[in-house]
Amino acid sequence: MDDKRAAFNAIDTDGDGYITADEFKRSLQTSSGKVSDSNAAAIVAMADDNGDKKIDYNEYAKFVR
């Protein structure tokens, strides 16, 4: 398993294959303190190519490249 996939799976805590703003916020909070709902949503929106408010693995891979 490559690092990017491992990182994606670590953020996708319910394992449905999508990172939501909620999951993203939780992952950031553990590593770097407080993140507001709107900040988490803004970051998700940045990576979200197809506008479904979730980040799938392809979008994630493109975002962190």
Q: What is the DSSP letter of 18?
A: E
In whole angstroms, the minimum distance from the beta carbon of 10 to Ca ion comes to 11
Place of tokens 């805590």: 13
Task: Report residue 50 as tokens.
Answer: 């197809």
Regarding 48 and contact with Ca ion (CB under 5 A), the answer is yes
Regarding 44 and contact with Ca ion (CB under 5 A), the answer is no
User: Which one of 50, 58, 62, 64 is in contact with Ca ion (CB under 5 A)?
Assistant: 50
User: Which one of 4, 5, 16, 64 is in contact with Ca ion (CB under 5 A)?
Assistant: 16
Contact 40, 25 (CB under 8 A): yes
